[in-house]
Structure 1
């Protein structure tokens, strides 16, 4: 499924969670998923509300460790980045859920460290370190998983106006950490008269979104509205999320890449084999020219989201690179299935793909043809000819 976030009046963690619950995520299921992480320190309540005549879901996360009013900028007992990281890493959550949640908190920690001029490991979260913020962020990622969302798009984000009171006193809107998180993301100013985009909302949008801009062409399946706690000037304090059908052939993958100018081709070849055996979807090298006129190779590795971390570690272990770039990519693949071709010399594995117009194409597998040629003591070309004939007979 594809999710489009229409943040016409901003975004916060509870607004995002509310919209996803309006799309069908059960509150009891979410609490069950979060309990191993947060134990009995929280509760979640949902209520149906009307904002300027629009029905929406208002979510409140109750922090039982220290009672307080929910909101990104209220003072409460907060956890630091290191504790939150250990809390999530040690939880029984699915690996992909943990990874995405850690990425959101890391993005916030990097921004806070820059604003306060401190090391990232010493960052203390005042506004997003409470149980409620942890439940909001992890809850949103769990909800995306529940709805089988594979790609996310998002509208440009409004910045709000005015001032906000936080742990460091009264500050301009958007808060400094929020603005830091938004680097490289399309935004615009508005006269809401208050904070409409919180650090949690900014980090969720920045980390989870594959593309910022108008909603792409899709078949809509459902629409959900999440309510914020503020009364804003102009537009109602809501976020609108549109869940869309996607083709079975559309998914999201991750591309890892690095530049290498000090390794022998033999070791690079071994690195490619290691990555493929470790679960990479594809690995390739591109000749490049680096500084000091050095010929080099760019190693690229395509993988699933859940394999990104361990394949990153493999690249760092098997090559001399000291850093890796990565990006999420949307891709479209033809529907395929594995078949067996009955040839005069024996059976050959092949793959059958269905083209957009409905016609089919069959391609013999190289390794299967090679193995049969060696077994029969004939040329590879002969086996390919036999396999092509068998494929043509199947296609009619």
Structure 2
């Protein structure tokens, strides 16, 4: 069994809201405080209290800075303080800030993000997630807000540039007036969550509600975290689409397979066959969720010369997956992991990342692949290892 957390960020997301939700769900305050103290000493104290937001009971995490703290830190300074998932969160933040300001990553100056309370939010959230025994995370669409917000750089449109950069590839909506998603909250969500999806099937055993600082009229300013178990042995319904094609230029197949995968197919492949009168051909096979069978059938007719597509129901049992970045030389390679019943079953570097890094460094792909495998093993990503939380 694996323990999954689904984040409801339909009213926005911020670091303190996520921390409050995880504490409300049962994470131990003592564990969070100990993790924060290991990074910043006694300069920060974590506490919390029950509040009301939009008529709902919620938990408000309080991060009190007990020392005078500089308002600015560089990523070079912060990365010497944090490790593990917290390091991955801040690295994602640094890359987003570097992009929107047009500077090198090491030159990024964090403002609110670099203050002690923000460091405590990130470290505390990551410690709380691990304390709850969470092995995978997904989230729904994120409300980012609308209008404008005043920053050290002046008045900026909402979503703020760093939030917009961090939200690339994720479903977003306005959701209300003002800034509803902060860079810290968005970085935590994007580092943790591998999939943007509605609430998945779970045997629910915990719910946490974290409060934001404001209580606006008309909506509950909260983040919810729903926690439950799902068995990796449950088979999911699937549909197998098949078509025999004997008159297509073979140079077109790579693009056709890519387009089917981009449309949402779980997998797509070719099998060489021999048709009547000895004609060489291929069987195109496409595995997909039932709801995508019709649009994928349309795409097969559009992209190939087939006159018919066979359709048959299937059951699919898939390993739960996560992508974990590991440092290889001066770059990073995503390592794809598959786990079942709390144990890593598959570990493999993404070859596209390996090839891209090899080209950029002018080195053989085989050597970069070897280094990526070694970096994964050093990070504890080996077949048979017990599962711990894997950042995405």
When normalised by structure 2's length, the TM-score is 0.62
* 1:33, distance to aligned residue in structure 2 (A): 2.3
> Can you give the 5+ residue segments of structure 2 that lack an aligned partner in the other structure?
234-318, 327-343, 357-364, 383-389
The answer to whether the 8 A contact 1:160-1:195 is kept is yes
Residue of structure 2 equivalent to 1:103: 88
Residue of structure 2 equivalent to 1:12: 14
The answer to whether the 8 A contact 2:347-2:381 is kept is no
**Moved runs in structure 1, 4+ residues, more than 3 A?**
248-257, 279-286, 296-312
The answer to whether the 8 A contact 1:127-1:166 is kept is no
Verify: 1:196 aligned to 2:180, yes or no: yes
Verify: 1:81 aligned to 2:83, yes or no: no
Residue of structure 2 equivalent to 1:388: none
Residue of structure 2 equivalent to 1:161: 146
Residue of structure 1 equivalent to 2:314: none
SS in 2 for 1:48: strand
Q: Spell out the pairing of 1:199-238 with structure 2 (5 A cutoff).
A: 199-238=183-222
Verify: 1:52 aligned to 2:54, yes or no: yes
* 1:152, distance to aligned residue in structure 2 (A): 0.4
> Can you give the 5+ residue segments of structure 1 that lack an aligned partner in the other structure?
68-75, 89-97, 258-278, 313-327, 331-396
The answer to whether the 8 A contact 2:46-2:61 is kept is yes
> What is the distance in 1 between the residues matched to 2:347 and 2:76?
35
Using a 3 Å threshold, how does the CA distance of structure 1 residues 308 and 161 change in structure 2: closer, same or farther?
A: farther
Residue of structure 1 equivalent to 2:276: none
Note the alpha carbon deviations across 1:233-277, whole angstroms, 9 max, x for none: 5321101110102337665454789xxxxxxxxxxxxxxxxxxxx
Q: Spell out the pairing of 1:304-323 with structure 2 (5 A cutoff).
A: 307=377, 309=379
* 1:179, distance to aligned residue in structure 2 (A): 0.8
Q: Spell out the pairing of 1:1-396 with structure 2 (5 A cutoff).
A: 1-66=3-68, 77-88=71-82, 98-190=83-175, 192-247=176-231, 252-254=321-323, 281=346, 307=377, 309=379
SS in 2 for 1:40: helix
The answer to whether the 8 A contact 2:74-2:107 is kept is yes
Q: Indicate the RMSD between aligned Cα atoms, in angstroms.
A: 3.7
SS in 1 for 2:79: helix
The answer to whether the 8 A contact 1:27-1:44 is kept is yes
* 1:145, distance to aligned residue in structure 2 (A): 0.6
> What is the distance in 1 between the residues matched to 2:205 and 2:40?
32
> What is the distance in 1 between the residues matched to 2:373 and 2:173?
34
> What is the distance in 2 between the residues matched to 1:283 and 1:213?
25
Note the alpha carbon deviations across 1:19-38, whole angstroms, 9 max, x for none: 00000112222112221211
* 1:301, distance to aligned residue in structure 2 (A): 11
> What is the distance in 2 between the residues matched to 1:164 and 1:255?
33
The answer to whether the 8 A contact 2:89-2:191 is kept is yes
> What is the distance in 1 between the residues matched to 2:226 and 2:378?
28
Residue of structure 1 equivalent to 2:304: none
Using a 3 Å threshold, how does the CA distance of structure 1 residues 31 and 221 change in structure 2: closer, same or farther?
A: same
* 1:78, distance to aligned residue in structure 2 (A): 2.7
Residue of structure 2 equivalent to 1:371: none
SS in 1 for 2:156: strand
> What is the distance in 2 between the residues matched to 1:280 and 1:11?
33
Aligned residues between the structures:
273
* 1:211, distance to aligned residue in structure 2 (A): 0.9
> What is the distance in 2 between the residues matched to 1:285 and 1:80?
30
Note the alpha carbon deviations across 1:331-383, whole angstroms, 9 max, x for none: xxxxxxxxxxxxxxxxxxxxxxxxxxxxxxxxxxxxxxxxxxxxxxxxxxxxx
The answer to whether the 8 A contact 2:28-2:128 is kept is no
Using a 3 Å threshold, how does the CA distance of structure 1 residues 132 and 10 change in structure 2: closer, same or farther?
A: same
The answer to whether the 8 A contact 2:194-2:323 is kept is no
> What is the distance in 2 between the residues matched to 1:300 and 1:196?
43
When normalised by structure 1's length, the TM-score is 0.61
> What is the distance in 2 between the residues matched to 1:185 and 1:228?
22
Larger radius of gyration: 1
* 1:102, distance to aligned residue in structure 2 (A): 1.2
